[in-house]
Amino acid sequence: MEYTTFTGKTVDDAINKAIVELRISSDLLDFEVEDKGAAGILGIGARPAVIRARVKDSVDGNAEAFLQDVFRSMNMDVTVVSEYNEDEHTLNIDLQGDDMGILIGKRGQTLDSLQYLTSLVVNKKTEEYVRVKLDIENYRERREETLENLARSIAAKVRKSHKPIVLEPMNPYERRIIHSCLQNDRYVVTSSEGEEPYRHVVVSPKRSGKKEYKGGAQGAFAGSADAAEFTEEQ
């Protein structure tokens, strides 16, 4: 990211202006002081402080800079809070602001796309792969709870009707939640069918003597294609 010039009555004022305009935390600001400024005498000879600033070239800095560029183009005021765990190579990002539903999208599709693009930007400059998780107001946790409730409800219907039920198309992450939730169910088995982006989960009654999907004793999800897909997405 290129340097941008900021001015203020003092260097601290210029730094604060840079932090506000770049929408980042102070620890992510990289700056150089060009002119410390001067108060002058009775205002005569006064000049502003001048700094050149940019977002630090770091994992979390690159992520925040990219996201803020996106939000500026959308005319959205969004606060980006990031936390990078260098030991585990994970970057957790939380987005905060008004009218955030537009950034979540239908079934989280927009949020997933932002996460994917942010991951590309971050990993372009890293040697070790960094796993990026983008969230808004705990949406992913709430979505996971919703899907688990859906899975249990569908399993009860399948057990009662003895007929398979096809769920709506889901991404690999969401399919994994369904598989994991029902992997130890005594009465149903799960599988995935179709091609992306229409790949979906099928919940079927478990027949006597029938092996549980490909996971054997480890459950319906173990060893499945969705396991590999989910791993690749992460």
Helix (H, G, I), strand (E, B) or coil at 37: coil
> What is the CATH code for 141-233?
3.30.1370.50
Taking 70 as the pLDDT cut, the residues of the chain under it are 1, 43, 208-234
8 Å CB contact between 92 and 59: no
Burial of 127 (0-12, 13-18, 19+ CB in 10 A): exposed
> CA–CA separation, 231 vs 69, rounded Å?
29
Domain boundaries, the chain: 4-55, 59-137, 141-233
> What is the CATH code for 4-55?
3.30.30
pTM attached to this predicted model: 0.66
Reading across the β-sheet that carries 29-35, which strands appear in turn? Answer: 4-8, 49-55, 29-35
59-137 CATH choice from 3.40.50.1820, 2.30.40.10, 3.30.300.20, 3.40.50.1220: 3.30.300.20
* Site of tokens 């003597």: 209
pLDDT at position 1 is: 65
pLDDT tens, residue by residue, 128-164: 999 999 999 899 999 999 999 999 999 999 999 999 9
Backbone CA torsion sign across 134, 136, 105, 203: positive
pLDDT at position 27 is: 78
Burial of 117 (0-12, 13-18, 19+ CB in 10 A): middle
pLDDT at position 228 is: 46
